[in-house]
Amino acid sequence: MARAKNSGPSQTDVDMTPMIDVTFQLITFFVFTLNFSQAVTDDRVQLPMSQLAKPAEAPPLEPITLQLMSNGKVIYAGEPVSLADIGGYLENEKRVMIAASKEPDTATVIVRADGRSRTGDVQELIKSCQEKGFERFVLRAEYDDRF
């Protein structure tokens, strides 16, 4: 009995259209469900509720987000920093802005203070920012429509 000689693997064409279609649908899904405005939030900070809170009309220019926790520490770049040490970090922000030919007074400092934090800590944080030349501030709160 004679056997047919095997000439190697057979040539097959794989249709990539379904895989490309599914990949495109996944990318589209994630783009639509990703919430960019919450990218700088932290679960360790619970914003106070306010009936006067409203969304910003336009995104802030050159935003610097500082999050004040209830224990008095400031979350800067994802790490807790004491209020006494935040001035050094703000000085670095100022140097980076000046190196990029931008003035610190054009930056907007977004203060996200925990509702349980002390008012004096918020004032001290703003004072530290002002000492480094930052003049624009935005205070964040959650909208409460129960009133």
Spell out the domains of the chain, with CATH numbers in brackets: 49-143 (3.30.420)
60 versus 121: the higher-pLDDT residue is 121
Cα torsion at 72, 77, 78, 80 (round to 10°)?
Answer: -30
| 146 phi, psi to nearest 5 deg | -75, -15
Its pTM surpasses 0.75 = no
pLDDT digits (tens, 9 = 90+) for 59-105: 667 788 898 888 989 988 888 999 999 999 999 989 998 998 988 88
Please state, in angstroms and as integers, the Cα–Cα distance from residue 10 to each residue in 2, 17, 72, 129, following that order: 21, 21, 69, 70
